[in-house]
Amino acid sequence: MRRGVVGWLCPSLSRFRSPMTVRTRFAPSPTGYMHIGGMRTALFNWLWARHNNGTFILRIDDTDEERNMESALGPILQAFRWLDLTWDEGPEIGGPHGPYFQSQRKPLYAAAAERLLAEGKAYRDFETPEQIKADREAADKEKRPYINIRRSLELSPAEIERLVAEGKPSVVRFLVPRDRTIAIDDAVRGHVEWNGALIPDPVIVRTNGVPLYNFASVVDDVAMEITHVIRSEEHLTNTAVQALIFEALGASFPVFAHLPYVAAPASKEKLSKRKLDQYRKNPSFKKMFDRGDSVFPKIGLGGQGGLDPVMVEYYEKIGYLPDAIVNALARLGWSLDDHTEIMSRQTIIENFTLDRVVKNPAGLDPDKLFSFQSHWMSALPAAMKDDGCIPYLVKAGLIALQADGTVAPDVRLFVGKVVAALGDRLKLFSDILDASYFFTETLEYDEKNFQKRVAKEGVPALMREFRARLAETEDWSPTNLEAVLNAFATEKNEPAATFIHALRLCVTGQSVGPGVYDCAALVGKDRSLARIDAALARLG
RNA sequence: GGCCCCAUCGUCUAGUCAGGCCUAGGACACCGGAUUUUCGAUCCGAUAACCGGGGUUCGAAUCCCCGUGGGGUCACCA
């Protein structure tokens, strides 16, 4: 079934296949955040649609509760916008198969349920929850698989009518054929089949008239002419029932493709928001949490800002690049070949096929994600780096916007110089905050290294002299500063490193960063001298 | 527990369908070295895997069977 073997073994088949365009969908429920694993599933749907010049649909699964949609759906749509995964039909833009909110499609589900009822493919079940529970327990006790006893099936039409008239609560159940097997040919898992005799009759419409996911989803997939149902593996078991519903509705199957779920780093367990506390202890995940702890408070998001690495929003807020996330997500459970890792969006679209989806779960690897980020950041044009960093500096109060909300040209120019000096050291946009010393006189000193490099025997005296030499220096360019420092070191018969390290600590407060001459040049002569004074003053 | 899925370096994976080109390739991480005023970047190098057992075959990571392990799912959630 893999590699589209069927297609070329039976070329005649393709003549009967309508030239229907590929239509995929992602159907999130409005939970208030976008799960990174869900995003991977959405991405694969999007990729498959784009690869085939097809249509990608966003459909909102809000059958369950109609809470404040605005705040619950907003972050999800934002995640799609941020990653630039455009949808062709769905919220905000509509489309020919709308509405795209399940809460607005209730008449469609009701009609479909009525039809199944009328055709005897579903039945009204008056069984009480207590009775069902008792049946289940009895089955458990006898160690036999539970399936519905279907007492309500004995009822005559007249009795059913009476019970409904009396207002007796009931649900609609799909009547699972127990005399056959159900089989699908999954695009990633191959042939999978189930024994109908083992499947309980699923509720398709609740007592309150609201349809259930399994049912609504199929009704919508049929109505929206979905050709490929690409979703996470945890739905594989559901597929038996859904396939049956497709049949009952007189529709042909879409192609099913069950992706392995995204697992927690270095594990085979599904990545879950409920296990966040556990993840904090995970060494590779810990780095991400730590980064959030350090960055979010600085940009006005208290603590973790309600964000964590399970959410797509976390990566946006901490300054990842959409291309890096897309690249990393695409490589999670899919590969192009035996060596290609770095892929542009276009490359991925061109090469993405379902038959190269891996079958076993893939653990999210924060290290690898970060390495993709490093690559894409280094490939980003300078002006775009500046654009990405500026919001962080603004939010952290390190630069101010003008009254019209724009950045003053000289500020922008300076930011550009800092970003250039940082070079490859800037991996995330938020990394600009590690270079706050270019923007404020309130330095944070790395005490340990300050003691080691500045407060060391003999160094303060040398630095006082060096400070005087610097004060006489007119040409404050990095090259000249280097020449001055080297000459002075030779004069004093000291290694240049003594002055290099001490100067860095004095001017930036830190022991790491861009070249020390670049730092001094960026800080400027007056401020550099003042900082040396301040540092020496700290020695008391 | 029933049903279903899965199983290659620490991690992501190539190779499995069409058995030999695999003394198993790549990437990330880790470790070592070079370079560098720091960090980073870069370059070089090293360590590291076919879950186990039976078959089939001249030959098995690849096919078959049986185990084992991991995971998913068993709602009037999605």
In the annotation, is A456 catalytic? no
Report residue A87 as tokens.
Answer: 């949808």
Return phi, psi of residue A488, to 5°.
Answer: -65, -40
Closest to A255 measured CA to CA, from A23, A12, A19: A23
A133 CA: nearest nucleotide by C1': B75
Chain segment A469-489, per-residue pLDDT in tens: 999 999 999 999 999 999 999
**Does ipTM exceed 0.90?**
yes
A65 CA: nearest nucleotide by C1': B77
Task: State how far the Cα of A390 lies from the Cα of A411, in Å rounded to an integer.
Answer: 10
Chain segment A337-396, per-residue pLDDT in tens: 999 999 999 999 999 999 999 999 999 999 999 999 999 999 999 999 999 999 999 999
Q: Which residue is nearest to nucleotide B41 (CA to C1')?
A: A424
Distance A338 CA to B20 C1' (A): 20
Does position A11 have pLDDT exceeding 70, yes or no?
A: no
- In terms of Cβ atoms closer than 10 Å to its own Cβ (0-12, 13-18, 19+), residue A387 is middle
The nucleotides of chain B lying under 7 Å from a protein CB are: 1-8, 10-15, 17-18, 25-29, 37-41, 70-78
A217 CA: nearest nucleotide by C1': B78
Distance A47 CA to B7 C1' (A): 27
Does position A145 have pLDDT exceeding 50, yes or no?
A: yes
**How much is the pLDDT for A119?**
94
Q: Which residues, 6+ apart, have CB-to-CB distance to A161 below 8 Å?
A: none
Residue from A121, A273, A286, A492 carrying the catalytic annotation: A273
Q: Which residue is nearest to nucleotide B76 (CA to C1')?
A: A206
Closest to A216 measured CA to CA, from A205, A200, A227: A205
Span A166-175, average pLDDT: 93
Q: Please, which pLDDT band fits residue A270 given cuts at 50, 70 and 90?
A: confident
Distance A266 CA to B10 C1' (A): 8
Distance A368 CA to B32 C1' (A): 22
The answer to whether the CB of A499 falls within 8 A of the CB of A486 is no
Q: What pTM was estimated for this model as a whole?
A: 0.92
Reply yes or no: is the peptide bond before residue A99 cis, omega within 30 of 0.
Answer: yes
